[in-house]
Amino acid sequence: MSLNINNISRSFNGKEVVKNVSFEADPGEIVGLLGTSGCGKSTVLRAISGLDTGYRGEVEINGKASRKVEASTGFIFQEPRLMPWLNVMENVTFGLKGKKESKDEIGRKYLRDVGLAGSEHLYPKELSGGMAQRVAIARALITSPEVLLLDEPFSALDAFTKMQLQDLLLEIWEEYRTTIVLVTHDIEEATYLCDKIVILKDRPGRVGQEIILDEPRPRRRGSNALANYKTDILNSLDLSRV
């Protein structure tokens, strides 16, 4: 599914937060929104998701203007946002319709996909941070979204868990070829995961540069190619002005 973001601007209390942000995501492409804190990355993502409709500009999904939450779109937040009174299976299948047996069968499939087979009856308080985020990923995937929006989903995790979940995201993408838009402030994460990086800078946030990553997958963390992309990104951000 394709996305076209056309001149998105958003103000809060009279102060402009993002200004004329435009970019495209082709079907099955992983696009990163990268920038320093306060440049409007999450604001743009909320506009795409339909969770915020107070922006100027237009979001097109498969060529059609959209200003609402679409069933074809999944959202993964920075925090798992699990319901503490429901177990893992109930959290994952919460949005599904049908008989419990049918929902549980589908739920088990997605829990296997995220490496949580056998954890169906655990409650959120019994999960590590990484496990909880895996549940959130399974919950987002179970409705078979054609677009997956992620708002810094791994930023609160330790470095090793973060790398595991980055690899999990790529495995899921390989299977489903979902169009993904990922908000991140982590340059290494962006160069490891993304096909294209849209760099937001300044306040109000605007598109400073788009970088296409031609490096084939699987990519090697710390490779010279990714290091060169990191240098280009740092030069574009011009952190001396932040």
Give the pLDDT confidence of 124-167 residue by residue, as tens digits.
999 999 999 999 999 999 988 999 999 999 998 999 999 999 99
Determine the residue type at 192: Y
Flag whether 71 is in a domain.
yes
Instruction: Report whether pLDDT(221) > 80.
Output: yes
The percent of residues in the chain predicted with pLDDT above 90, rounded, is: 85
Mean pLDDT for the stretch of residues 43-48: 96
DSSP characters over 6-48: EEEEEEETTEEEEEEEEEEE-TT-EEEEE--TTSSHHHHHHHH
Residue 172 has pLDDT above 60, yes or no: yes
**What tokens does 136 get?**
């959130």
Whether the pLDDT of residue 237 is over 90: the answer is no
Specify the CATH number for the domain of residue 22: 3.40.50.300
Q: Does some domain include residue 216?
A: yes
Q: Is residue 230 pLDDT above 70, yes or no?
A: yes
Residue at 103 is within a domain: no
Asked whether the beta carbons of 43 and 52 are under 8 A apart, the reply is yes
Q: pTM for this one?
A: 0.93
User: Residue 65: inside a domain, yes or no?
Assistant: yes
* Tokens coding 116: 């949580």
Q: How many domains does the chain have?
A: 1
Average of per-residue pLDDT across 204-229: 94
Q: Is residue 227 part of a domain?
A: no
Kindly state the average pLDDT of the residues 112-135: 96
Q: For 40-63, give the DSSP string.
A: SHHHHHHHHHTS----EEEEEETT
Q: How confident is the model at residue 108 (pLDDT cuts 50, 70, 90)?
A: very high
Q: Tell whether the model's pLDDT for residue 240 goes beyond 70.
A: no
Q: Across all residues in the chain, what is the average pLDDT?
A: 93
Structure confidence at residue 1 (pLDDT):
84
The predicted pLDDT at position 154 comes to: 94
Question: Six-digit token pair at 34?
Answer: 């990268």
At residue 12, the pLDDT reads 94
In a domain, 107, yes or no: no
Half-sphere exposure of 221 (CA within 13 A, CB side): 11
The pLDDT of residue 98: 84
Contact 63, 26 (CB under 8 A): no
CA distance 182 to 162: 14
Residues of 22-52 as b/e, b for ≥16 C-beta within 10 angstroms? ebebeeebbbbbbbbeebbbbbbbbbbbbee
Q: Which domain holds residue 38?
A: 3-82+149-222
Check residue 239 and give its pLDDT: 65
User: Hey, what amino acid is at 35?
Assistant: G
Gap between the Cα atoms of 242 and 237, Å rounded: 9
Long-range (24+ apart) CB contacts under 8 A made by 189-194 are: 189/32, 189/154, 189/162, 190/32, 190/34, 190/233, 191/215, 191/219, 191/226, 191/229, 191/230, 191/233, 192/166, 192/219, 192/221, 192/226, 193/30, 193/32, 193/166, 193/169, 194/30, 194/31, 194/32
- Report whether pLDDT(241) > 60: no
The per-residue pLDDT for range 58-96, each reduced to its tens digit, is 999 999 999 999 989 999 998 999 999 999 999 999 988
**In this structure, is residue 205 part of a structural domain?**
yes
Does residue 238 surpass a pLDDT of 80?
A: no
Q: Is residue 102 part of a domain?
A: no
How far is it, in rounded angstroms, from Cα 180 to Cα 28? 7
